[in-house]
Chains A and B, each alone.
Chain A
Amino acid sequence: MSHDKLTDGELVRAVLGGDRQAFGVLVDRHLSAVVAVVGRIVCNRADVEDLAQDTFVRAFGRLGQYGQEHSFRNWLLKIATNLSLNHLQARKRERGRYLRLAETRGEAVAEVDEGPELPSPREWQYWLSKLDESQRAAIVLFHFHEMSYAEVAEALDAPINTVRTYLHRGRKRLRELMSVRPLPESEPCSAVI
């Protein structure tokens, strides 16, 4: 039977049964969603590729734990969201250590190379990057990937009311930011500093 006709759940069972090619079909089906979630949460495009790859590698290792009660896509996007948020936290810690080290040595703080591709204010990514990570993740999953409250709550391991708060505060912030005219000049992406 052609892989294309199988559901995600059937493909997962095929992989567990030794059919590695079935995993390739799952990658084909969900790669763009994973890349989009990671790209929209992490803001820095240089890291998107690694995080998307890590998402699938991690999912492969845990395929045996995938409970069929959730959609495979949402299960995958939860992994992608976790990895992205952890990545942002790690970068913040790294940045903090760097600043403390520079301070104790009395050195001037050099510009941290954030990669050549920072979003400009003309791009939607710029506005998203101004939100708290949790607000951003909630908005990305709820609005861009059409998850329900319950699904976002599951992905973020947060209560539904917290998700509602993230969404409301995030949109409020976006409205405040986007009502500023003229558009601000490009500045470093706050989310990754």
Chain B
Amino acid sequence: MQCRDIKLQIEAWWDRDLPPETAARVERHLETCPDCRAEYGPVTQLLRHPEPVAVPDGLRDRILAAVEPLPLPVAGKSDNRRHPRPWIGFLHAPWAGALAACLTFAFLAWVSSMIPVGGSHIEEPVVTNPPSPLVLASWAGALTMPGQMGALPAIARAAVFEQVVQERAAPPETFVRNRISDQDLPSLDATPAIPQIPILLRLSALGA
């Protein structure tokens, strides 16, 4: 095996993708060729022989002491905080926008049918405290584009902003990790998500 073969194979070797015989040849070459050893040796050494990380003294006992007062876990119990409810998934479906628009349109049609036409004075619609069409359109916009802050119409954006402000207003201490509260560990998703549930709740509170 030549140095140029190593150059071609080294990534696959690190990836553990090579058949055993080829891997053995790469290894042999690295042992015997000073150039390739200088080039790939340090990283290989780092990847193959990481230094151990020492377990702090007494950590085991502290863990068990921390677990002791916790209630026993229940078999099969799912954690809704971590796993979004299935119906949230529809927000990301391609047809979600169309559905939201249809629902909004139907609701608007219903609201407007409550308003008598042609009279000299227009009575209050029957619906108590009806949301304005602009508000509804905003909610529809918010539903169709849950991930795009910039595209949200102004009113929905204001509601979202209010939510974000509430979250940001938390004192700095909240960023210092509390000793476990299983309740509120953040998910791996680092990007702060636009709160979708409050929007839905508000929409349902409006009667849609």
- A and B found bound together: yes
A28-B60, A53-B59, A139-B47 known; A61+B53 contact, CB < 8 A: no
| B152, chain A: closest CB distance, angstroms | 23
Interface size class of A (residues with CB under 8 A): 35 or more
Taking chain B's interface residues, is the majority helix, strand, or loop, or is none over half, making it mixed?
loop
Contact across chains for B73 and A63 when beta carbons are under 8 A apart: yes
B51 touches A124 (CB 8 A): yes
* Chain A contacts for B75, CB-based, 8 A: 13, 16, 64
B42 and A178 contact, CB distance less than 8 A = yes
Chain A residues lying within 8 Å of B64, measured Cβ to Cβ, are 23-24, 27
User: How many interface residues does B have (CB within 8 Å)?
Assistant: 46
Chain A hits for B177, CB < 8 A: 50, 54, 87, 90
Q: Indicate if the CB atoms of A86 and B73 lie closer than 8 Å.
A: no
* A70 within 8 A of partner (CB): no
- Which of A23, A82, A174 is within 8 Å of B188, CB to CB? A82
B121: A residues at CB distance < 8 A: none
Q: How many A-B residue pairs have CB under 8 A?
A: 145
Residues from chain A with Cβ under 8 Å of B182 in the complex: 57-58, 61-62
Question: CB of B4 within 8 A of chain A?
Answer: no
A23: B residues at CB distance < 8 A: 64, 67
Classify the secondary structure of A's interface with B.
Answer: helix
Q: B176 near A: Cβ within 8 Å?
A: yes
Interface contacts beyond A31-B59, A64-B76, A97-B172: sample of 20 additional A-B pairs, CB < 8 Å, sorted by A: A15-B72, A20-B72, A24-B64, A27-B60, A28-B60, A32-B55, A35-B53, A49-B56, A49-B59, A54-B185, A56-B63, A65-B79, A85-B188, A89-B190, A90-B177, A144-B47, A174-B43, A174-B46, A178-B46, A179-B42
Closest 10 A/B residue pairs (Cβ): A39-B53, A61-B182, A63-B73, A57-B180, A178-B42, A64-B77, A143-B47, A36-B53, A64-B73, A16-B75
A-binding residues in B (CB < 8 A): 11, 14-15, 39-40, 42-43, 46-48, 50-56, 59-60, 62-64, 66-68, 70, 72-79, 172, 175-177, 179-180, 182, 185-188, 190
